[in-house]
Amino acid sequence: MSEFDQYSGNYRELLDKSVRITGETGEYFAAYKARFVAERVAARPDCRILDYGCGMGLVSRELKKALPGARVDGYDVSRASLERMDAALRSQGEFVTSTSELAGNYDVVMMANVLHHIEPGKRQAAVAEAAGLLAAGGRLIVFEHNPANPLTRKAVAECPFDEHAILLRPGETRDYLRRCELEQIALDYIVFFPHALRWLRPMERTLGWCPLGAQYAACASRRRGKP
DSSP 55-68: TTSHHHHHHHHH-T
Residue 227 lies in a domain: no
Cβ atoms 167, 147 nearer than 8 A: yes
Residue 139 lies in a domain: yes
- DSSP-derived letter for residue 223 is P
Expressed as residue numbers, the domain containing 181 is: 3-221
Residue 105 lies in a domain: yes
- How confident is residue 112, by pLDDT bands cut at 50, 70 and 90? very high
Residue 212 lies in a domain: yes
Where is pLDDT greater, at 20 or 221? 221
Q: Across residues 4-32, what is the average pLDDT?
A: 79
Whether 190 has a pLDDT exceeding 50, the answer reads yes
Q: Across residues 105-125, what is the average pLDDT?
A: 96
Residue 226 lies in a domain: no
- What is the model's pLDDT at position 1? 45
pLDDT digits (tens, 9 = 90+) for 132-183: 999 999 999 999 999 999 999 998 988 877 888 999 999 999 999 999 999 9
Whether 212 has a pLDDT exceeding 50, the answer reads yes
Which residues, in sequence order, are CB contacts of 112 under 8 Å at separation 6+? 33, 51, 53, 59, 143
Residue 97 lies in a domain: yes
Q: How many domains are there within the chain?
A: 1
- How confident is residue 69, by pLDDT bands cut at 50, 70 and 90? very high
- CATH number, domain of 44, equals 3.40.50.150
